Amino acid sequence: MEDLLRAVLVGVIQGLTEFLPVSSSGHIELGQAILGLDYGKYEQQFSVILHAATALSTIVVFRNDIAKILLGLFQKDKIAWSFSMKIILSMIPAAIIGIAFEEQLDALFNGKILLVGSMLLLTGVLLFLADRAR
């Protein structure tokens, strides 16, 4: 039961950080380390469940916007079609990099709390500087 509560807390961390300009994956790593969670061989399955739940909730919340984007591909209106294509095409580079370097990124960050924390601090500094530059 204690593990279930800790897993739910990690899910809450995922839900709260996924849509902020911070690394939800980094916060999950830190949360798991702080809570003492180690899923061992089930680590990847737990991650898939967390991200599937996030994807499902996103689809439910933004279902009308998603429908408009998808329908834009089949409309004669060039502006709607162009907007939909730009969104779809913008996903391709991230997908290619994610697939190509998945193992290297997992090996680099998985379980390395000091590195994860350092990268979160760097992200925070960059966001702060970008905000001040405006």
Amino acid identity for residue 19 in this structure: F
Q: Residue 18, Cα to own-chain centre: how many angstroms?
A: 5
pLDDT class of 92 with cuts at 50, 70, 90: very high
In a domain, 50, yes or no: yes
Q: Express each pLDDT in 18-36 by its tens digit.
A: 887 777 788 888 888 888 8
In a domain, 116, yes or no: yes
Structurally, how many domains does the chain consist of?
1
In a domain, 18, yes or no: yes
In a domain, 11, yes or no: yes
Query: Domain range spanning residue 107?
Result: 2-61+101-133
**Amino acid 2: pLDDT:** 81
In a domain, 8, yes or no: yes
Query: Of 6, 101, 97, 100, nearest to 46 (Cα)?
Result: 6
pLDDT at 109 over 90: no
Other Cβ atoms less than 10 A from the Cβ of 128: the count is: 10
What's the sign of the alpha-carbon dihedral 70, 74, 79, 84? positive
Helix (H, G, I), strand (E, B), or coil: what is residue 122? helix
In a domain, 39, yes or no: yes
**Amino acid 1: pLDDT:** 63
pLDDT at 60 over 90: yes
C-alpha separations of 133 from 7, 30, 130 in Å: 39, 29, 5
| CA–CA dist 64, 54 (Å, integer) | 17
